[in-house]
Amino acid sequence: ILSDGEKQPFIEEAERLRNAHKKQHPHYK
């Protein structure tokens, strides 16, 4: 089980990918 400190990089990466996807597909819901 990952501690919060170990999970943080994965959470930030997922967030960045989501934001990048929104930029590439601004109409995407």
pLDDT of res. 11: 93
pLDDT of res. 27: 82
pLDDT of res. 10: 93
Q: What is the CA radius of gyration of the chain?
A: 12
Distance CA 7, CA 12 (A): 9
The 3-class secondary structure across the chain, one letter per residue, is: CCCHHHHHHHHHHHHHHHHHHHHHCCCCC
Check if the beta carbon of residue 15 is closer than 8 Å to that of residue 7: no
Distance CA 17, CA 2 (A): 21
Question: pLDDT tens digit string along 1-29?
Answer: 778 889 999 999 999 999 999 999 888 66
pTM of the predicted protein model: 0.57
